[in-house]
Amino acid sequence: EKFVEDARKCGVDGLIIPDLPHQEAKILIASAKKNGVSTILFLTPTTTKKRMKEVVDVATGFIYYVSLTGVTGERKALPTDVAGHVKAAKKISTKPICIGFGISNAAQVKAMSKIADGVIVGSAIVKEINKNAGRKDIVKKVSSYVAKLRGL
């Protein structure tokens, strides 16, 4: 409870806690709701429809759809079945569905934005931050990179 209270005081809007099954997150979810903090839960390509419904029912923020199996990181190509999985999730969820994992270039962002409510880019931005570490214009460089990803 204190963790969520402190997080909220620091301005946190939502929590993403990887590898925390929704069945074991009841205390966290209750505390988050009490403190006005969203809990963002995951769906994956291997999530069954039954489990998908369970996750959607308890998540209070957006649904994070993991686009691929395995570890996160940049990919040259994304799986072709992502659209079907997201479509299935949208049939049972009124919550926004955002796609992440492996998304690393503007073409992928554009393609995923056509099928999801949001696109999450992590590793590629971390790589850009590391590439520009120590530079006085790091914020400008990374902001420019993000704008390029967004097609701006």
Every domain of the chain and the residues it spans:
2-121, 122-152
Q: Return the percentage of the chain with pLDDT > 70, whole number.
A: 92
Q: What is the mean pLDDT of residues 44-73?
A: 86
Please give the single-letter amino acid code of residue 73.
G
CATH class (in words) of the domain with range 2-121: alpha beta
Question: Is the per-residue pLDDT at 77 higher than 90?
Answer: no
Supply φ then ψ for residue 13, to 5 degrees: -100, -30
The pLDDT value given to residue 28: 92
Supply φ then ψ for residue 98, to 5 degrees: -115, 140
Q: How far apart are CA 130 and CA 109, in angstroms?
A: 21
Average pLDDT score over the chain = 90
The pLDDT value given to residue 73: 56
Question: Is the per-residue pLDDT at 67 higher than 90?
Answer: no
The pLDDT value given to residue 22: 83
Half-sphere exposure of 126 (CA within 13 A, CB side): 10
Within 10 angstroms of residue 35's Cβ, the number of other Cβ atoms is 16
